[in-house]
Amino acid sequence: SRDHEVEDREYTVLFKECFSAVFNTWLEGAEGDIPQSPKDLAFYFHDISIREIVVEGVPLYQVEMVIPIMDCKITCKSIEIVRCGV
């Protein structure tokens, strides 16, 4: 189905003009083959939230993501999503 085709596409997410980025890595609760480093794992999002905030009059996006073996919070001015392989 067309919905299935959309789900199988790969995308790159670009966070631009970032003011902060915090990454917390963890292995507790990891299932299956435990990666020896973060680059050993194909990442996919478990959860992502994006909210608009204003800091000192500057409109920003605050992004929180949970990915296998890590969670992160990024605060930036813009986000671009690019479809890979086009």
For residue 3, pLDDT over 60 is answered with no
Instruction: Decide which of 3 and 9 is more confident.
Output: 9
Rounded CA-CA distance 52/49 in Å is 10
Q: Note the helical H segments in the chain.
A: 2-8
Longest dimension (CA), the chain: 46
* Residue 45 to residue 59: CA distance in whole angstroms: 25
Residue labelled with tokens 């003009």: 17
- Top-confidence residue, 39 or 19: 19
Q: For residue 57, what are the β-bridge partners?
A: none
Q: Report pLDDT for 9.
A: 73
pLDDT per position as a tens digit, 6-36: 556 778 889 999 999 998 877 666 665 666 6
pTM of the model: 0.68
Average pLDDT over the chain reads 80
